[in-house]
Every structure is written in C-alpha cells, then in structure tokens.
Chain A
Amino acid sequence: MNYKLHRTSNYVRVLLFTIFTLCIFKTHAQERLPSVSLNTENQSIVTVFEILQEQTGFKFYYDTNWFGAEGITKSYTNVAVDVVLKDILRDTDINFYIDDDNNVFLTRNSFVYDTLPENFFGEQEESAVIETEEIETDTGPVFEDKTRRVSERVETVRIGKATSNRNQSEVRLTGRVTDFITGKPVPDLSILVDDGQQGTSTNSNGEYSINIKRGTHVIKVSGLGYKDRVKNAIVYNSGVLDFSVEESIEALDEVVVSENARRNVEIPVTGLVSLEIEQIKTIPLVLGERDILKAALTLPGISNAGEGASGFNVRGGKTDQNLVLLDDGVIYNPSHFFGIFSALNPFSTGSADIYKGSIPVQFGGRLSSVFDLKTKTPNTEKFSGEAAIGPVTSNLVLEVPIKKEKAGLLVGGRGTYSGWILRSLDDEQLSESEASFFDVVAKYNHTLDENNEIRATGYFSRDAFSITSDSIFNYSNRLASLRWNHKFNEKNTGSLILTNSQYRFNIEFDGDSNTDFDLGYINNESELRLEFNYLHSKAHKFKYGISGKLYQIDPGNVDPLNADSEVTPLSIPRERAVESALFFSDTYTVNEKLLIDAGVRLSLYAALGEGIQRIYEENAPRNSSTLVETREFDQNEVIETYGGPEFRISGRYFLNPDLSLKASFNNTFQYIHTLNSNTTVSQTDTYKLSDLNIRPQQANQFSLGLFKNFKDNEYELSIEGFYKRQRNLLDFEVGAQLLLNETVEAEVLQGDGRAYGVEFLLRKNEGRLNGWLGYSYSRSFIRLDSPFREERVNNGEFFPTNFDRPHDVSLVTNYKITNRLSASANFVYQTGRPVTFPLGQFEFDNADFVFFSDRNEFRIPDFYRLDLSINLEGNHKIKKFAHSFWSLSIYNVLGRNNPFSVFFVTENGEVRALQSSIFAIPIPTITYNFKF
C-alpha cells in the first residue's frame, strides 16, 4: 500500500484509506460548486488540474502516474468545476470526489461514496432509470443537484454492439473481478443485477458469468472485505464487464469475516463452513500458532477427541472420513506434534471451505466431509512477505512476482526450535532427545493468457521424535498438485488437475540388544481429474467431469536395523486399488427463490493385484479356523470391485430476501479406512483399502437448515439439523491387534452408524465486537451386530461412538478497543467423551486379568476452557518497512485440568487409572508477526 498521493504544493504521506475513512463520515455534498472558465490547447491533464486548482482554490489529490503525457484540448466558460472534471475524465478510469473542505480526490477505477449505498436490498428502481438517462444527457452543461449526486456515484458502460437480432432477448455478461491493489482475482463476491433481482458470484478465478436481458441494468459487486462497486450497464449484446474492487476499511483492520455477506443465505449448499485466515487472526493462540483447522473446531458440527488430538469428527463421523485437500491434493495427516499444531502454514493458507453437509460432486471418497484448503494466490504485483516469531515455531512466507501481473511464486517455511529447547533441559534423557517438525510449501501461479492459467503447489511436512536415544519416530506428508484452468469460450471452462500425495511413518528402534528394527508404512496416491463447467443458461449451470485415482499402500515392513539384529524381516504385501468417478451436476435456478443443485457421482472402485486374499467360510465368524483358502492375484488383476451412484442434491428457497431454507441429501462411499482402535488419530494409524473381505463404508445424510441475515448482513444466523445413516463402518473386535497384522480382516467388524444433531451458529461479522457463537447438540452411535457372539459388541445394540459429545458450545469473540488494539476471548464447553473403563480384575488360569466395561459405557469429565488474548497492530505508516502485529494470549486461563484421555497401567501388579491432560495450566504466549 505505497500510495503516494500527489498534491501540487507538496507530497502528503497519507494513506488513501485513511482519507476515505474520514470521507465516509462526512457525507454532506457541496451545496454550490464554483464555476471555472478555461481554454486548453493540448495541455496535459495534470496541467489542467493545476489551472483548476488556481481558479477554485480547491486542493487536488492524485497520482501523476495515472495520467499520460497526451494533451487535451477543451474550452469551458463558466461551467461548474465538477462538470468540467467529469468531462475531462470521461475517457479515463478516474473518478473524483469533492468534499466539504474543498479537497478534490481523484481515484482510479473505484468510486468514493459520499453516502452509504441506497436501496441495498430495497425495491426502488428509479436510480437505475435515472442513471441510464444520464448517459444520453451527459454533455449538458448544468445538472440538477440530485442528478449530479447520482451520476457521481455510478459509472456507466455500454456492453456489446447493438445488432438487428432481437430474437435473442438474453445475452451473456461475463467478467473478472480483481483486487484494485494486488491485481489478484477476488473469488466469492456476489454480482447482483438490479438490486438483487438476479445474481451470481465470482469463482475462484474471480470470474463470473450471468445471462441477463438486453437493456439497462445496475450491476453491483459486493462482498464483505471489499467496497461495493456499482456500474450501470447498457447491454446491447454479450460482452465483458470487469470490475476492480478495493478492500474495505474492515479489510484494513483485518476483521474480514466473510468475503460474501450474503453467501450464508444465498448458496444452495448446506453444512458449508468457510474460514478465512484473516478471520482467525485475533483468536487466542496455543503456543503462538494461528491455526485455521483449530479455528474450524470452534464451529458447530466439527469436533475432535480433545485438545492435542489430531483428526476431526464431522457430524458424528470418524476421523478417517474427512477428505483434507490442499490445492486439490490429499493430506493424510495434517497435524504436527501429536495434533497440537496443524501442519498447514497459517501465512500461506488462504481459505478453508469445509463441506460437512452436501459435498460437491467433484469430491468423493470420504463419508463425512471435505476440507478444501487453498493456498494464497501469490502476489504478482510486488514482492511481499510475512513472518512470525513465536515461542515454539518461526515462520516465513514470501510472495515473489515472477512476471508482472502474470506469474507469481509463494514460498513458505515453518519450523520448530523444540530440538533446541530439549537440548537445553537439565534432564539428561530429555536433553539427548529430539522432537522437531517443519513444513514447507510453494505455490506457483501463471496466467498464460486470458484463457489459460497454470497453478502448481508443492508441500512437504515432517515430524520426528526421539525422546530417548533408542528410538526415532517420524512421519511425513508429501504433496504435489498441478492445475490447468482453461477457458474454451464464454460458456465453457475446464480444469485439468493432477495430484500426488504420500504419507509415511517410520519407527527406528536402536537399543542395545539384538532386536533393533526399522518399521515403515507408506501410503501413496495419485489422482487425475478433468472438470468442466458449462454455463448453459441463466437457469442451468452444468458441472461435469471424470477422475481416476490410484492408491498404493505398503502397510508395513519390519527390517533388522543392523547386522547384529536378529529381527526377522516381515513385510505385509502391498495393496493397490483404483478409484474412479464420473460426475455431473446442474445448478438449476428454478425461479428467483428456488435454486437447486443436483448432481450424481458414479463411483467405481477396483482393488488390484498383485496380492493375497484370504477367503473365509460364509456364515461363519472370520478366524483362522474358518479360512477356506488363500487366493493369489497377479499384477493388476482385479480382486474385487465396488461402487455405485452417489447423489448430491441440495436446494435453497428464499422465504424472504434475508431468510432462506435449505435442504440436502447426500450419499457417499469410502474405500480407504484407518485401522485405529484409539479415539484419536494415532501416529501409527495405518490405512487399509477395501478388498474381498472389507467392504466400502457408505453414508446417507439428510440435512435441513434455516439461514438468516440480519441488519444488512451484520449478523448471520443459521440453524441446521442433520440425520446420517452409515453402513459398514469399521470397528474392531475386543482385543484386536492392528499394527502389522497380516490377517487384520479377521479382527475387523463392520457395522451400522447413526448420527443426528442440530447445529446453531450466530455470527456477527462487523462492528467493534465481532465473532461467533456456536452450539450443537449431536449424537453419534454405532452398532456392531453379528449372528456370532465373538463378532458382536455391546450385545449388538447401538452404543455411543468414541467421539459422541452431545453438547458442544463455542464462543469466539473479538472486541476492537481502537483500530490497532483488540482483545479476544474464546470459550469452549463440551460433554466428556465416552470411554471404556476397566471395572475390575478376575482370576483365570492362575493369573489375574483385568476386565473392561462394555464399550464406551462411561464418559470422562466435561471439557471446558477459556482463552484470552490482546492483539496490537503496528501503525500503518506508508514508509514503514513492515506492518507488525503483536499478540499476547493466555490459553486455558481458568487452568482447568481437562482430561484428554484416561488410561490404565499395571504397576506392581496393581491396575491404576491415570488421566493425561495436555494443558492443565494457563499457557501464556507472545507472538510477533510482521508483513512487508
């Protein structure tokens, strides 16, 4: 934001926005403007301004770079100064504003409003009419005061050439909305035609397309975080109307809550949560990390097993049922340090869309949700960066323009110095150990031409622990994605997406005995997807495509670490499979009120050889004695196929302009499953593909919600209910061993799931006090029934899942004390999660054994926590090298000792119950961030 505003007498270092801030509140228009007389002969526009300045005594503010050297030749006699300016500037993209103190502000592309927008949702049509008439009478010397004000506010454009073909009453208006400052496309802004009679929104490339009638229209681009832009369009034929939008004052203060204020009520999608990284900037931090995934947990319907647990439980779903995508590629374990931090760099992450209700057709393969995370689009205009220094990690992200306005590169890296902390500890054992993580991300964007764009992302994260000198445990995620967006014509766009992801973990045990080993697990998947959008008409927008994904899993191997080791190598054979899908959806605008998004995804899965499959007797419990045969499959031989149609249907109906009713039905298949008997994602979880013995998981979800915006979108309210049935959920027999088990299918149970709930969310997006209050009441059950007693759990009745936490309240608030100083508070309350307790001991075969309760019969105590933080932003002086941001936060102010897990150890022959808690005391943290 290095605006240099030019004043003829001297340079004033004032931030443009600051002026605007002042302007906005001074809304009195000039009663009478002075008249001027002048003759110019090929003089530069700047010279003309100087003349005007002399004549009127007004002060002009502008940037000389906006104007070329070409001269203008004009003659005016006693014409009002605003008329003169309007005439001079007619062929430029410059607007002007004259305030009460005789200052003239010239702005490029954007318009300075001297009043708040009229008829934001109103029914009045006259402004449009007047504006269009104004075109015809533009050259008139004098205007009525009223007309003058209106004309100042709105730029008028002509679209297309008039043709004789009048049959076609509708034409297509397309365009692109970019950020005035950065030049980046702005997604998710709403394009409203004639005060909301029609509308659409910009896609991720900032592009929009809408069919409108020929004639005159008022086109408004709006969205929170950006100033509204209004243009009058006289539409003769199909054409292009681009907008350039400025960040709003809210954006400057970085309290952007949503880019699109009306999105809440407008979109037909149920159960969608959108988070912007800026939105969570003031949320109190844990150990100085701003974390978009942690922020997601404060929204209803998304929870986890407790602080420090990785993985998410979305609407009563298991942690393996979430498709976590970063720029289209899958991240299997998006967490660091046992889940205390998420593995996404907060500075490079742009946004997160979390689909927990209706999932768009292009996504599949997981039952519960899609976390669609996007890396920021690199700045193509100027070199910039952001850095943070925290107590545990430091972080740096740089944005480097490669080719102006065309190509940019973003690189980010984050790492811990916990290794250093450990080394400095007195405890000898700890000081010799290591616990570190890092992640790096790079994103390259290149706009080849107006029809082609390439995006590439690379990502790698790695964690390593060696708490004693005997072992090293590490895991890593690797991801590469490439996306080519292509515009075929005004109506057709397409994307080609290629991704590859790998997740692996490794345990090296290097003790003193001869049992040193190296245990490894690798999961690799590659996907190719072709996706097309066809804007058929005003009523129909089609999306269709095809995708194919290849999985390769090496479920585990153990190797002797050195020559002395007597460990026998063991390798569980590789698993391979192909998951492919054909998808199609239509966003159908039935009428102004009803919008339906109906899609179907045909999903086909094939488990491939080579491999060994064990075949068990039918109608018998699976165990070694019912094994019939072991069948071998050759390379690429199809072992088993599964699949079926997945319906994704959702709709929105406007009960009134601010209140909508949405409903959806969604069904999904999942072919890859984690083997996990713990509640949380454990780092030694392995993934297993569906095969002859393990069927895919399935889910059907119905949801219904009411969405309401109040007070010009200042408040958003939603109430959503859902009901979900699931089939073939994976669970395990009591006593099952999961890691390196060659016959794991004999211990796997597949059962039915049932989850339902009501979610309530109230968000206040603007004002000094903003934030949200979320509450959900939801239940999640599973039933593991079988004709055979050994395959039955809890008598074959429904019982609460590990993550069934009925009450979940989150309050996230931020209060701006001044523009630079703000205070935030979080409060979270959750019902304690179910656990299986040991009830007692018994004697059997000369030994004592512990016996357990029914699965999840008990609950650990309720969880609650309060966090506070104070955030101070550095001032916004133009010449300052960097904008700084200080944050002091205290996590768990109440010092509540929330049990994270309860477990049991046998010590001296006695069984003792222990609880672990992650942060049992208040944790203060200071973080320093700066942007340049």
Chain B
Amino acid sequence: MLKRLKKRLPIVSVLLTLSGVFIHSCIEPFDTEGIVNDFESALVIEATITNELKQHQIRLTRAFELEADSARAEREASVAVFDDQGSAFQFSEIEPGLYQSNQVFQAEGSRNYQLSIMTSDGRNYTSDPAQLTQETQIESVEAARITDDDGNEGMAILVNSFDPTNNSNLYRYEYEETFLIIAPDWTDTDLVKSVPNEPDNCTVDLVFTGENDERICYGTNASNTIILTNTNGLDEDRVSRLQVRFINRNNFILSHRYSILVRQFVQSPAAHTFYTRLQELSQSDDLFSQTQTGLLVGNVFSEEDEDEIVLGYFEVSSVSEQRIFFNYEDFFPGEDLPPYAINCNRSAPSFTQPSEFGFFAGCLLSELVAVGAVEYVGPNNGEIPPFGDQGVGPHIVVPAPCGDCTQLGSNIRPSFWVD
C-alpha cells in the first residue's frame, strides 16, 4: 500500500507544483554555472562479489555532467579484491571499464573482503571490509496473469523465498529476461543492390536465401531498476509473491516464449540502506518532494583525499537464482498476439527519388536496401498503389526488423534455452 501511495504522491506533488506555478509567477531555467563550477568527474564503482565460483566482474566508470548522455569507462585501472586470509584476486580489463578476475573464485563466509583500485592517474581507492551474507535459496519464481494497480493487464513475475533461520531479511533482486522473436514478415528471399558501389545504379536483385538466421531470434534485457524488499516486521523471514517484473500484455516480448532468470541477493544492512536511499533519491524531482537530498556516500573511499566523492558500492553478497519459461499460449490461449515490436507497414518504394526539375535525384529502393532499412516481402501486384509523384516500385518491403529479427535480438540460441 505504502508503495502504491508513494507512487501516487508525485502526482499530488505535481499538482502542488502547478499551483505553485500559479503563484510563482516564474519558473525558469537556472544556470548553475558560476555556482557549481568545479564539476569533478567522480569514480563510480559497480562491484558485487558473490558466492558463485566464477570470474567475477567489476565495472568502473566516471560520473558525467547533467547535460551529458553517457558514462565514460574508467580504463587501465588496476583492480584487486583481497580477503583477510591473505588471498588476492587480480582483475584485468576485458572491455573498456569492465574488469574481470583473472581466476575463478567465490566469496566465502566469515571472511572480510576489500576492494582496492588504483586508477591510471595513480589515485588509490579502498572499500570498507565486507562480509558474505547468508545464502538463502529462492523457493520459486512464478508467472501469473494479473491486472496491476493502474488497470493494466499483463504478466507478473513473482518470487518466493524463505529463510527458516530468519537471518537474511534484506533482499535485492536482478533479473535477465530472454524472449523468442519471430520476424512476422520474414521470407526466404532478400533484396540486394545489384552493383554495391555505384550510387547512381539503382537496380536491385532478388536473392533466394532459404531458411537463414533472420527469422528466429532471442532478445535479452537486463533489469534496470532497483528491486528491494525486506522481511523485517514479518513473523517469519519469508518473501511471498514479490513482484520483480510486470510485463504489459501488449509488450511483444510475451509473444511466443519467454524466460526470466531471477537473481536474489541477500544484502548486508549497510548495502541495503545504500540501495534504499539510492532508490529514494532517484524518485525526488520537484519542489514539494519530501525526500532529503544530499550526497549518498557509499563504501569506497579515496585514500588520498577523504573528501573526494566516490560513487557506487562494493557489495559481497550471496546469490541464488532461478529461471522459468512460459509461452504466451499458456496464459492467453486463443487470444491475439501482442503487436510486434514495431509497426510493419508495407510499402513499395520506387527505384529512384522523384526527379527535381527533371533531373535525376538519386536512387531510392537500392539505397534503402543498401543501408539495411527494409526487408523484402513479395512482388507488388498492384497491392500498393502509386503515391503522388513518388511513384511506386515492383517490390513490397517492410521495415527491416519485421523481416529480420537480428535487428532486435541475437539469432544465437542461448545455451539455457528450452523449447
């Protein structure tokens, strides 16, 4: 309930803000330049070491300005995790900003782990010691067809977990969903530009491809929200039907077969507090909000300058995961499939652009084919009429993702996939 209300309150806040606008004769951009002029790109640490025996990964990036779009990878750092028994696990950069341990290892209980980073500019960072949390297995992950609070119908992914020792209490979830994509307008024939490197040659050829790798693919999304729960105040340490994901029934990812891997992390109190605060801060966005803003301090600190801002968190956490599969038919038997990911409008572009003042203005269809924007469906036997001075061509095409699923996913069947 509280959660639902919190979701509602921002609306109230907006209303209040509106009324604020009415009085506040003026709301306008505020130039922080000259006030905040010492933007310093802080180091951001995403590091979760678990009890899985594997090559663990740590991501290092730099914070970026409010106006900027994306993070910059922190390259060429030396990264290591130590435990208090004298073990050290070195990490190497496998792609920009992503560091992977050179050997497989797993976090073990009753040991303290510490992260140590030296960046390429010679600055040293160390985390607070962290201990592995108790392991609690996911009891089950279930899928259910529900109508959510806002009246939307769809599939809910629910998690159940139980810790009879009553010690876990604080949980964080991640998921990775994989879904089957079948290109609705896939055909065994493709269009190719006849002469690839001649822009003025507008001819195209039909090529038979047969059953290629563009019909069936697998799309994958990772969770991008913070999903937390705790069992404090409950009689027993039981997570019951916690919704980690809701998929609207109109989402194309449900269309055929869907699989989700839910990972449950048991968190330390400090880590849980950090994630909770981070989540709450990300909801703060207006004048009337009652969320206290401020710097959210993690557990990694600069050794040279204690005031330096270091973002992110080093977590040592036990993890348990479970995967489920279901088909659209299982829950929506006989019902229409969700619409495809994009609108598959058919068209029949002419070979050339409409001429300008009688002069040749360039190829059309062959260029669309060359850049991979369209996929062939079939011959235009008058199905698509001419459109204005654009004219009409002999081939019907659709936007590429409708005929080529690799635009939306990978055509490599994941090893875990079960049909």
Interfacial chain A residues near B359, Cβ < 8 Å: none
Give the chain A neighbours of B32 by CB distance below 8 A. Answer: 837, 913
A900 at the B interface (CB under 8 A): yes
Q: Which residues of B contact A921 (CB under 8 A)?
A: 25
13 contacts between A and B (CB under 8 A): A338-B19, A430-B22, A509-B8, A621-B269, A683-B16, A790-B273, A836-B293, A840-B66, A845-B223, A854-B294, A913-B31, A917-B25, A921-B25
A280 at the interface (CB under 8 A from B): no
B26 touches A905 (CB 8 A): no
Check B15–A468 contact: CB distance below 8 A.
Answer: yes
B63 touches A682 (CB 8 A): no
B65 touches A841 (CB 8 A): yes
Contact A515 B149 (CB under 8 A): yes
Which of A308, A683, A732, A839 has a CB less than 8 Å from the CB of B24? A308
User: Is the Cβ of A473 less than 8 Å from the Cβ of B16?
Assistant: yes
For chain B residues 25-41, which have a beta carbon within 8 Å of chain A? 25-32, 35-36, 39, 41
Contacts of A918 in B (CB 8 A): 23-26
When chains A and B are docked, how far (Å) is the Cα of A18 from the Cα of B28? 55
Q: Which residue of B lies closest to A861 (CB)?
A: B35
B99 shortest CB reach to chain A, Å:
15
Q: Are B28 and A915 in contact (CB under 8 A)?
A: yes
B86 contacts partner chain A, Cβ-Cβ < 8 Å: no
Instruction: Give the distance in Å from the alpha carbon of A902 to the alpha carbon of B128 in the complex.
Output: 35
Determine whether the beta carbon of B292 is less than 8 Å from that of A677: yes
Which residues on the B side are within 8 Å of A507 (C-beta)?
12
Binding site for B on A (CB under 8 A): 308, 337-338, 340, 430, 433, 435, 465, 467-468, 470-471, 473, 507, 509, 511, 513-515, 517, 519, 558, 566-570, 621, 623-627, 630, 675-678, 682-684, 731-740, 742, 789-790, 792-795, 836-847, 849-855, 858-860, 897, 899-906, 910-921
**Which of chain A's residues have a CB closer than 8 A to the CB of B67?**
910
Asked whether A738 lies within 8 Å of B290 as measured between CB atoms, the reply is: yes
Most buried by B among A340, A433, A844: A844
User: In the bound complex, do residue B282 and residue A850 qualify as a contact, i.e. CB atoms below 8 Å apart?
Assistant: yes
B residues neighboring A (CB under 8 Å): 1-2, 4-6, 8-9, 11-12, 15-16, 18-20, 22-32, 35-36, 39, 41-42, 44, 46, 61-68, 70-71, 128, 149-151, 169-170, 174, 222-226, 230, 232-233, 269-270, 272-274, 276-282, 285-288, 290-297, 299, 306-307, 309, 311-312
Contact A735–B276 (Cβ < 8 Å)? yes
Which residues of chain B come closer than 8 Å to A626, judged between CB atoms? 269
Inter-chain contact B35/A515, CB cutoff 8 Å = no
Give the docked Cα–Cα distance between A910 and B299 (Å): 27
Beyond contacts A515-B4, A625-B272: 9 other A-B pairs, Cβ-Cβ < 8 A, are: A468-B18, A473-B19, A509-B8, A675-B290, A678-B290, A795-B306, A839-B39, A844-B46, A847-B225
Cross-chain contact of A627 among B150, B233, B299 (Cβ < 8 A): B233
For residue A816, give the distance in angstroms from its CB to the closest CB of chain B.
33
Among residues of B, the one whose C-beta sits closest to the C-beta of A901 is: B287
> Does A684 lie within 8 Å of B290, measured CB to CB?
yes
CB distance from B267 to the nearest CB of A (A): 9
Contact B26 A920 (CB under 8 A): yes
Are the C-beta atoms of A735 and B281 separated by less than 8 Å? Answer: yes
Measured between beta carbons, the chain A residues less than 8 angstroms from B280 are: 735-737
- 8 closest A-B pairs (Cβ-Cβ)? A735-B277, A624-B232, A915-B30, A568-B1, A846-B224, A677-B292, A734-B294, A735-B280
Q: How far is the CA of A918 from the CA of B288 in the complex (A)?
A: 15
Also in contact, A859 and B269, with CB within 8 A (given A337-B23, A851-B296): no
Q: How far is the CB of A220 from chain B (nearest CB, A)?
A: 51
| CB of A841 to closest CB in B, whole Å | 6
How far apart are A517's CB and chain B's nearest CB, in angstroms? 7
Nearest Cβ on chain B to A858's Cβ, whole angstroms = 5
CB distance B270 to A790 under 8 Å?
Answer: yes
Contact between B5 and A849 (Cβ–Cβ < 8 Å)?
no
Contact B63 A840 (CB under 8 A): yes
Chain B proximity of A12: nearest CB distance (Å): 53
Given known contacts A625-B269, A627-B232, A837-B36, A849 and B170 CB-to-CB distance under 8 angstroms: no
How many Å lie between the Cα of A913 and that of B269 in the bound state?
Answer: 33
Q: Are A902 and B30 in contact (CB under 8 A)?
A: yes
Contact call A621/B66, Cβ cutoff below 8 A = no
Q: Is the CB of B20 within 8 A of A843?
A: no
Whether the Cβ atoms of B15 and A623 lie closer than 8 Å is no
On whether the beta carbons of A734 and B296 are closer than 8 Å, the reply is: yes
Pick from A435, A625, A920: contact of B19, CB under 8 Å: A435
**Given the complex, which residues of B lie within 8 Å of A734, measured CB to CB?**
277, 281, 292-296
Asked if B15 and A740 sit within 8 Å, CB to CB, the answer is no
Report whether A570 and B1 are in contact in the complex, using a CB–CB cutoff of 8 Å: yes
- Contact residues in A for B299 (Cβ distance below 8 Å): 789
| B267 to chain A: closest residue by CB | A625
Q: How far is the CA of A732 from the CA of B63 in the complex (A)?
A: 25
Interfacial chain B residues near A855, Cβ < 8 Å: 293-295
Asked whether A849 and B288 contact (CB < 8 A) given A473-B16, A735-B276, the answer is no
Q: In the assembly, what is the distance between CA of A678 and CA of B22, in Å? A: 20
CB-based contact B309/A839 at 8 Å: yes
Given contacts A570-B5, A844-B278, contact A912 B287 (CB under 8 A): no
A338 to B19, CA, bound (A): 10
B residues less than 8 Å from A567 (CB atoms): 1, 4-5
Could you say which residues of chain A place their CB within 8 Å of the CB of B41?
840
> A904–B71 Cα gap in the complex (Å)?
20
Chain B nearest Cβ from A813, distance in angstroms: 27
Contact A340 B23 (CB under 8 A): yes
- Contact status B290-A682, CB under 8 Å: yes
The answer to whether A858 and B224 touch (CB under 8 A), given A737-B6, A910-B66, A918-B24, is no
**Chain B residues, Cβ within 8 Å of A468:** 15, 18
Complex Cα–Cα for A858 and B223 (A): 35
Find out whether the CB atom of A740 lies under 8 angstroms from the CB atom of B2: yes
Q: How far, in whole Å, are A855 and B295 apart by their CA atoms in the complex?
A: 7
* Contact A917 B26, CB 8 Å, known A846-B222, A849-B281: yes
Cβ B24 vs Cβ A621 within 8 A:
no
Give complex CA distance A558, B230 in Å: 23
Given the contacts A338-B23, A467-B15, A471-B12, A914 and B29 also touching, CB distance less than 8 Å: yes
Docked CA distance A913–B232 (Å): 38
Closest to A849 in B: B282
Which residues on A sit within 8 Å (CB–CB) of B224?
845-847
Chain A neighbourhood of B64, CB < 8 A:
840-842
Q: Do A843 and B18 touch across chains, with their CB atoms under 8 A apart?
A: no
Specify the chain A residue showing the minimal Cβ separation from B273. A790
The contact of A858 among B35, B44, B230, B288, by CB within 8 Å, is: B35
Docked-complex contact A621 and B46, CB < 8 angstroms: no
- Which residues of B are found within 8 Å of A308, using beta-carbon distances? 23-24
Q: Which residue of chain A has its CB nearest to the CB of B27?
A: A916
Residue among A468, A568, A789, A918 having the largest count of chain B Cβ atoms under 10 Å: A789
> Which chain A positions have C-beta within 8 A of B39?
839-840
Kindly identify which residue among B1, B287, B296 contacts A903, using a CB–CB cutoff of 8 Å.
B287
- In the complex, which residues of chain A have a beta carbon less than 8 angstroms from the beta carbon of B285? 904-906
Point out which of B26, B170, B272 has the most chain A C-beta atoms below 10 A from its C-beta: B26
Partner of A625, one of B66, B170, B311: B170
A677 CB → nearest B CB, Å: 4
Task: Tell me the nearest residue of chain B to A918, going by C-beta.
Answer: B24
Task: List chain A residues, Cβ under 8 A from B16.
Answer: 465, 467, 473, 683
Of the candidates B29, B294, B312, the one having the most CB atoms from chain A within 10 angstroms of its own CB is: B294
Q: Which residues of B contact A337 (CB under 8 A)?
A: 23
A467 and B1 form a contact (CB under 8 A)? no
Task: Report whether B149 and A739 are in contact in the complex, using a CB–CB cutoff of 8 Å.
Answer: no
CA distance A740 to B282 in the complex (A): 19
Cβ contact within 8 Å between B230 and A624:
yes
How far does the alpha carbon of A470 sit from the alpha carbon of B226 in the complex, in Å? 30
Q: Which residues of A contact B286 (CB under 8 A)?
A: 903, 905
User: Chain A contacts of B226 at CB under 8 A?
Assistant: 845, 847
CA A809 to CA B43, docked complex, whole Å: 43
Q: Are B5 and A851 in contact (CB under 8 A)?
A: no
B39 to chain A, nearest CB (A): 6
* Alpha-carbon distance A844/B222, docked complex (angstroms): 13
